[in-house]
Structures are given as C-alpha cells and as structure tokens.
C-alpha cells in the first residue's frame, strides 16, 4: 500500500502556505502604520484552514494556487483578506494600531515556526521510513 505525499503531510502544507500569506499581510500593515488612509488587513486563519481542509477532502477539486487565478472571493492567496476594525479612530484614516500589529506578528511568527518544525519532523520521519531506519 502506498500513500502520496499530500496524504502523508495532510493539512500542514496548507497551514504553512496560509501562515506565509498572513506573515506578508501583517508585515505590510506594520510597514504602512504611518500611511494616511491605509486600512489594516488580516485573514481568519482558523476559518481559512478549515476551508482548505474541507476543500482538500473533495475528490478532484480545483484549488486556487496563485493570486492571479480566477476565484469567487477577493484574495491575496489561499485565504480571504479582510479589513481589521480600528480600535481607535485616527485623523488620517489609517486603521493600523502598531502595538496590536506587532503583538499579532510576534505571536504569528511563533506559530509559523511551530508549523515549520512540525512539517520538518514529518519529512524527517518519511525520509527515515524510506531509508528503512
């Protein structure tokens, strides 16, 4: 009995792709903290991962794998990008709260590292199994 790579690593590939997408979004928010009129954005990671999991379980389902592919939602990648609600109104229309964004980025990077290490462990286990160790 053989299994494919997608079956072996499961949803973790999508999780890492979603985390990569969110890293770019959060970094963009921080970089635009002083840009008048900039609206902070984010994704709902849990909802996007659940949607990816359900979509991957559909036989022969089509996946949007590139930002320029046609799709039914506004997206910068795998997940729908939403605007974050401002905690406090600003005079220039910018909705970025630097402390909130920095905290979200720091937490996200810890989660990203954990996902990466878990996926790396999966590959290490697969490599050992292939070598017969």
Q: Are 120 and 17 in contact (CB under 8 A)?
A: no
pLDDT at 5: 59
Its pTM stands at 0.73
pLDDT at 7: 63
pLDDT in tens for each of the 133 residues of the chain?
455 656 666 788 888 889 999 999 999 999 999 999 999 999 999 999 888 877 665 544 445 565 554 444 344 567 899 998 888 878 999 999 999 999 999 999 999 999 889 888 888 888 888 888 7
pLDDT at 122: 83
pLDDT at 61: 47
For 55-75, the three-class secondary structure string (H helix, E strand, C coil) is HHCCCCCCCCCCCCCCCCCCE
Please give the helix or strand (H or E) that residue 125 lies within, else none: helix 98-131
Question: Hey, where are the domains in the chain?
Answer: 9-131
pLDDT at 95: 95
């Amino acid at each position: 009995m053989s299994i494919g790579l997608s079956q072996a690593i499961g949803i973790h590939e999508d999780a890492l792709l979603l985390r990569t997408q969110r890293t770019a979004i959060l970094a963009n928010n921080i970089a635009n903290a002083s840009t008048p009129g900039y609206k902070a954005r984010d994704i709902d990671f849990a909802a996007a991962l659940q949607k990816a999991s359900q979509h991957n379980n559909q036989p022969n389902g089509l996946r949007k794998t590139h930002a320029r592919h046609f799709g039914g939602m506004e997206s910068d990648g795998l997940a729908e990008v939403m605007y974050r609600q401002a905690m406090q109104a600003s005079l220039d229309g910018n909705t970025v709260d630097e402390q909130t964004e920095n905290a979200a980025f720091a937490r996200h990077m810890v989660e990203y590292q954990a996902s990466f290490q878990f996926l790396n462990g999966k590959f290490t286990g697969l490599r050992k199994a292939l070598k017969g160790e």
